[in-house]
Amino acid sequence: MSTDHRLEFLAKVSALAEKFAMSQPAPSRRLPDLVSVESLTAQVLSPAQLDAIAQIQEGVRMIGQLEQRINVLAVGHELPVSLFLPQCGQLWAELENRLFDSGVAAARLHNGAKAPAGRRVAA
């Protein structure tokens, strides 16, 4: 592809991107997504689930401490081993996201608690 064709192609892509951006509503004018009260209720964690998450997080914290101790010993004694457990971090992040989503859903339900079940609540 020659330089002229590349420039022409880039100009067309740029024009399309600009046209698409202008067709989107401005962020300040965008209406909030609506979700049903039932779907928000399903996102709220029960007390038993919150307790289980706290226990899992404590276990993950202990695993992280053990991982660190093993790696410090390996490096300190010049052993050619290491331990890397990325799933612990992924699990921690997933649990934190669930806790956050549950809190947001609970707050939305609290703010619209008097709404009948068929009414949609702003997300």
- Neighbour count for residue 101 (Cβ, 10 Å): 14
* Domain assignment present for 12: no
Q: Are 94 and 79 in contact (CB under 8 A)?
A: no
Domain count, the chain: 1
Structure confidence at residue 121 (pLDDT): 47
Could you tell me if residue 20 is inside a domain?
Answer: no
More confident call, 50 vs 116: 50
Tokens of 32: 């909030």
Assess if residue 11 is contained within a domain.
no
Tell me which residue of 48, 42, 68, 58 sits closest to 91, measured CA to CA.
58
Cα–Cα dist 119/42, whole Å? 16
| % residues pLDDT > 70 (the chain) | 66
Residue 27, pLDDT above cutoff 60: no
The answer to whether residue 86 is domain-embedded is yes
Q: Is residue 71 part of a domain?
A: yes
4 in a domain, yes or no?
no
**81 belongs to a structural domain:** yes
pLDDT above 90 covers a percentage of the chain that reads 49
Check residue 115 and give its pLDDT: 45
Residue 62 structural domain: 36-113
